[in-house]
């Protein structure tokens, strides 16, 4: 039986995070380059049976970004193994040797120097023959084929099929799906988005407002925004919006369906369509559990929030939200 081993180094990361090395996130380019590798694999029909990664933020998020490109709407396992965190090549080899024999194609998302040294332990003879010295850059991969069982992997087992750097694959993505002829700057699912208006009822005696909206700083830290993001493959619009609220604003609550409105705006050279849901906030995560706590968050009176949002379509939805709330109070 032929088996494929795809070794992928995580995408580019920020150089420092106050929480420590384990929590260093991917940069925007780092995320995009991993997705480009995913699109490259998809075009060749190379779908793994299993994706393995350490639970460090940069490797796990790389695995998740890859997964969203390869398996929209499907949830194959992403195996998290703490022993893979900054593991050397021998530890990575042990993880591969322990795989179930039914697995034919595995993607291992790892860290340097271990992931760059691993090919020598499973295809060393072929590397010497081809005079290759793999040193994987961020978001680059090497694919190795073997006919040996996982437990028998050795330097003479594998043959190098290809080594690919994200800079050398297509830099844009097909639209509206993998067979589309139009090309866009981001994966297709980025252009269908959802958002929640996280609110609570609280009277402001000075302004007369009865509703406050939880807003966070934008990713660039320049202005306040309402949680919004691409609809994750496999999730409904409202499910993805609730997930985005938890990640971006660290808030949880009940979102009502149907959507209270929709709007569109231009980004990445094309139109993004956004469904908007109302969510009454029931709990806030502490900073230690809030994935994007660096954003900061603030409860803002609804009337002020209406003035602060940038998108005119969202502003209209917030105005309607206020009018409906006032009608409910009057009745």
pTM value is 0.84
The single residue listed with the structure tokens 């993004």 is 272
Residue 265 to residues 129, 173, 229, 273, Cα–Cα distance (Å): 53, 19, 13, 7
Can you tell me which residue has the tokens 């005079």? 131
- Asked if 150 contacts 98 with a C-beta cutoff of 8 angstroms, the reply is yes
Q: How much is the mean pLDDT over the chain?
A: 92
pLDDT on residue 284: 96
**Distance from C-alpha of 48 to C-alpha of 274, rounded to nearest angstrom:** 32
DSSP state of 51: E
Q: Quote the CA–CA distance of 86 and 114 in Å, as a whole number.
A: 7
- Strand, helix or coil for residue 53: strand
DSSP 141-172: EEEEEE-S-GGG--TTTEEEEEEEEGGGS-SS
Which tens digits make up the pLDDT trace of 16-64? 888 899 999 999 999 999 999 999 999 999 999 999 999 999 999 999 9
Which pLDDT score, from 0 to 100, does residue 308 have?
A: 94
pLDDT confidence tier of residue 252, bands split at 50, 70 and 90? very high
Residues contacting 87, CB < 8 A, separation 6+ = 54, 95, 110, 111, 114
Q: How many CA atoms lie within 13 A of 301 on its CB side?
A: 11
Q: Which helix (H) or strand (E) holds 184?
A: strand 182-184
Res. 102: pLDDT tops 80: yes
For 187-245, how does the pLDDT look when each residue is reduced to its tens digit (9 = 90+)? Answer: 999 999 999 999 999 877 666 668 999 999 987 778 899 999 999 888 899 999 999 99
Evaluate whether 105 touches 4 at the Cβ level (below 8 Å). Answer: yes
């Amino acid at each position: 039986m032929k088996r494929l081993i795809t070794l992928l180094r995580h995408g580019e990361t920020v150089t420092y995070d106050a929480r420590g090395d384990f929590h260093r996130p991917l940069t925007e380019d780092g995320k995009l380059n991993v997705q480009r590798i995913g699109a490259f694999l998809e075009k060749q029909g190379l779908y793994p049976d299993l994706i393995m990664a350490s639970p460090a933020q940069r490797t796990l998020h790389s695995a998740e970004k890859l997964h969203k490109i390869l398996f929209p709407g499907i949830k194959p396992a992403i195996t998290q193994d703490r022993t893979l965190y900054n593991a050397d090549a021998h530890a990575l080899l042990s993880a591969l040797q322990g795989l179930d024999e039914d697995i034919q194609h595995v993607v291992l998302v790892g860290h340097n120097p271990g992931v760059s040294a691993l090919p020598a332990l499973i295809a060393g003879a072929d590397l010497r023959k081809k005079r290759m010295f793999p040193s994987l850059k961020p978001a680059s991969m090497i694919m190795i084929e073997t006919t040996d069982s996982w437990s028998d992997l050795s330097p003479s087992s594998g043959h190098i099929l290809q080594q690919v750097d994200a800079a050398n694959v297509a830099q844009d993505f097909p639209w509206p799906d993998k067979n589309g002829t139009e090309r866009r700057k981001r994966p297709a699912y980025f252009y269908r988005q959802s958002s929640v208006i996280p609110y609570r009822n609280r009277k402001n005696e000075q302004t007369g407002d009865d509703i406050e909206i939880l807003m966070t700083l934008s990713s660039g830290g320049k202005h306040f925004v309402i949680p919004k993001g691409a609809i994750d493959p496999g999730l409904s619009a409202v499910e993805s919006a609730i997930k985005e609220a938890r990640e971006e604003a660290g808030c949880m609550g009940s979102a009502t369906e149907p959507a209270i409105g929709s709007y569109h705006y231009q980004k990445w050279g094309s139109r993004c369509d956004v469904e908007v849901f109302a969510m009454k906030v029931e709990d806030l995560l502490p900073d230690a559990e809030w994935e994007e706590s660096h954003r900061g968050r603030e409860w803002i009176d609804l009337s002020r929030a209406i003035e602060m949002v940038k998108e005119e379509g969202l502003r209209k939805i917030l105005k309607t939200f206020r009018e409906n709330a006032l009608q409910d109070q009057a009745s």
